[in-house]
Amino acid sequence: MIPKLLNTLDRINSKYRQSIVSDFKITLGDEFEGLMNLNRNLMCIINELYFSLYPTRIRFGIGIGNITTQIQTMNVQEMDGPAFHLARKAIEQLIKEKQKYRVSINYFKIYTHDQLKTKIMNNTLSLLSILYSSYTSRQVEILHAYMNHEMN
């Protein structure tokens, strides 16, 4: 899993360079962090991670907020701010849901300081999680091939 994750993160860091402020890197075991500008590539990156690492189920905790330290383009672990705290809160919520329901219902959580936006985005991401969980291995293979060749 780790070599596959490393290769996937390297490819994403290169492919989405214009959106990434601090490279996605493994931080603890199989956890990774990165910092990006919020723009249209967020879902592209999520999709690429999800489909590249399939069948491994991964959780995404996304925090939308400020960074209060100096930006470190090569080391995300040296930064801090509400964005990171909100992302950690999102991951903790996903873990609580898994423990409560004994199965991962959601793969994604986003937190912002705006409760209404957070609720709307998470409802949408819950639907996406349901859709993803219904894919067969063949469907994932086809979708991944389309994405790698930039087709729609």
Task: List pLDDT tens digits, range 23-56.
Answer: 999 888 778 899 998 767 888 888 888 888 888 8
Enter the tokens of residue 76: 């995300």
| pLDDT greater than 70 at residue 61 | yes
Confidence of residue 10 (pLDDT cuts 50, 70, 90): very high
Instruction: Tell me the average pLDDT across 100-124.
Output: 84
- Convert the pLDDT of each residue in 83-99 to its tens digit: 999 999 998 988 888 88
What is the average pLDDT value for the chain, to the nearest integer? 86
| pLDDT greater than 90 at residue 120 | yes
90, 73, 91: which is closest to 35 by C-alpha?
73
| pLDDT greater than 70 at residue 103 | no
DSSP secondary structure, the chain, as one string: -HHHHHHHHHHHHHHTTTTEEEEEEEEETTEEEEEE--STTHHHHHHHHHHHHTTS---EEEE-S---S---SS-GGG--SHHHHHHHHHHHHHHHHHHHHSS---SEEEE-S-HHHHHHHHHHHHHHHHHHHT--HHHHHHHHHHHHTT--
Which residues 6+ apart lie within 8 Å of 86 measured at CB?
62, 63, 64, 65, 111, 112, 113
CA distance 61 to 24: 13
